[in-house]
Amino acid sequence: MKAKISEIFHSIQGEGKYTGHEQVFVRFFECNIRCAWCDTPHSIGDTTRHYRECALEELMAEIRELWPDCHSVSLTGGEPLVQKDFIKALLPSLKKEGMRSYLETNGILDRHLAQIIDDVDIVAMDLKLPSSTKCRPYWEEHAAFLKVARQKEVFIKAVISGDTTKEDVVRSVELVAGVDPGIPLILQPNYFERKNGALDRCLDYQDYCRQYLTDVKVMSQMHKVWKIR
């Protein structure tokens, strides 16, 4: 079995709870949705269909080389769970070598997650707000996904754009509170709209969310500030 891989590299995690930690990033090719502001268009096959096919041992050898001093291996994309059969094979190999796995996911493919959750260490889950992404709503999928993800460490990220509506934020809070109000929620002002009201919206929405959830932060996507991958 081989995976379609966009790129493998070492960098610093730029968003979420583990911002600032060194990681090996394995960027899986292709995604199951199309967000309006996708920041990795090369990984979803829209700009180019550039990827390489990588066998498990080949990938592990590259991860090993990049691993020293890293906190974890980020399985990112695209949407890594599109290739869940490969990930199911990869996770035990990471665990065997003492490498933590960190799954960055759009939080939609709950049945795929259920098949691999036993071997995942950390789930960094996106909430895709329809007013931000211009995609259809995924509330039911997100709720089902979160119920599976909370078997392990999970935190949630939501990008807030100038278009993000309060209605979507209210729905998000209901969703998270309905599963576990202690799950951390991180509101991320869209980097390209930070001077266009996105940061103020984040701060307003944070006040609202804190009434129902115990851990709500506003954090920028630092890799965009630092201009790193």
Q: List residues binding ligand SF4 (CB under 6 A).
A: 31, 33-35, 38, 40, 43-44, 77-79, 106
CB of 83 to ligand SF4, least distance (A): 13
Amino acid (one-letter) located at 39: D
Minimum CB distance to ligand SF4, residue 115 (Å): 20
Taking the least distance from each CB to ligand SF4, the nearer of 60 and 129 is: 129
Q: State which residue, 33 or 114, has the beta carbon closest to ligand SF4.
A: 33
Least distance in angstroms from the C-beta of 32 to ligand SF4 = 7
Residues, the chain: 229
Min separation Cβ 197 and ligand SF4, Å: 21
Q: Which is nearer to ligand SF4, 38 or 177 (CB)?
A: 38
Sheet holding 185-189, edge to edge: 52-55, 2-12, 22-28, 72-76, 101-105, 122-126, 153-160, 185-189, 216-218
Q: How far apart are CA 206 and CA 198, in angstroms?
A: 12
Please return the burial class of 37, using the count of CB atoms within 10 Å of its CB with bins 0-12, 13-18 and 19+.
middle
- If the CB atoms of residues 99 and 161 are measured against ligand SF4, the closer one turns out to be 161
38 three-class SS: coil
